[in-house]
Amino acid sequence: MLRVFFIGGIMCLLTQAGISQSQHVYRYKKDPAIGIHFSLYDFNSAMLISQIGLSKTLNSGSLTNIGNMQPGLALSFLDGLTDHLDYMIRYTGSFVDYPFPNSPGYEDEYLLSALDASVHLKLFSDKHWVSPFLSAGVGTFSYKSNYGAYMPLGLGLQVNFFNEAFLLIHIQYQVGVSENAANTLYYSLGVAGNIGSSKKK
């Protein structure tokens, strides 16, 4: 039930932002942009966090080393809703051994395709060079003949290069919503550039 309310809240937020956008002129609203991101999946640390909690996982030094995480590539579309609120649609492809809950994964790696939509609530508008942000959204994935759903929740940092390009650093805890979806930590580092003519800020 909590998950239903959360998804409903995201949809209400997007709807309200759209209504506000039609009523106000935002001077520092992000222009449409296309991004490419290098990503890392960490299933093991997310499993430990769900079992023993975040603090115990950190204190025990049990977080997965970067070299043992599973890499991927992502493409994204970003656009502004208000000065402080952006949305992003992202596709990530990665060859992984997916750890299905209560069942063994595959011995060989297969393509994990993930598509999600999220909103970024920025502390500062794009008038500023650097802005931290919170993100939340909904997503779906396919792996071999399996399909599932998840909620990406996270935080990030945006670096603005003259309102033409953006460096995006992002960490998410992707919560499995469907029964076959595993929790995972998702890291990404990417660059997004404006498409079309840019407005002067």
pLDDT in tens, the chain (201 residues): 445 445 555 555 555 555 554 456 788 899 999 999 999 999 988 887 776 666 666 666 667 777 778 999 999 999 999 999 999 999 999 999 898 887 766 667 899 999 999 999 999 999 999 999 999 999 999 999 899 999 999 999 999 998 899 999 999 999 999 999 999 999 999 999 999 765 544
Residue 95 domain-assigned (yes or no): yes
Residue 199 located in a structural domain: no
With respect to residue 151, please indicate whether it lies within any of the assigned structural domains: yes
| Residue 22, φ and ψ in degrees, nearest 5 | -75, -15
Residue owning tokens 């953006």: 166
Q: How many domains does the chain have?
A: 1
| Owning domain of residue 128 | 2-194
Task: Determine which helix (DSSP H) or strand (DSSP E) holds 51, and give its type and residue range.
Answer: helix 43-52
Classify residue 200: in a domain, yes or no: no
The secondary element (H helix, E strand) that includes residue 55 is: helix 54-59
In a domain, 169, yes or no: yes
- Residue 175: C-alpha distances to residues 37, 95, 110, 158, 182 (Å): 21, 20, 21, 23, 7
Give the DSSP per-residue string, 15-48: HHHHHHHHH---TTPPPPEEEEEEEEEEHHHHHH
> Are 85 and 10 contacting, i.e. CB atoms less than 8 angstroms apart?
no
The answer as to whether 7 is a domain residue is yes
Nearest-angstrom CA–CA distance, 30 and 77? 12
Alpha-carbon gap, residue 148 to 143, rounded angstroms: 9
43: phi then psi, degrees, rounded to nearest 5: -80, -35
- The Cα–Cα gap between 85 and 106 comes to 39
Choose among 139, 127, 129, 32: nearest CA to 91.
139
pLDDT digits (tens, 9 = 90+) for 2-42: 454 455 555 555 555 555 544 567 888 999 999 999 999 99
Residue 201: inside a domain: no
- Residue 76 phi/psi, 5° resolution? -140, 155
Any idea what the CATH number is for the domain that residue 123 is in?
A: 2.40.160.20
Closest by Cα among 175, 74, 167 to 126: 167
- Report the mean per-residue pLDDT for the chain: 85
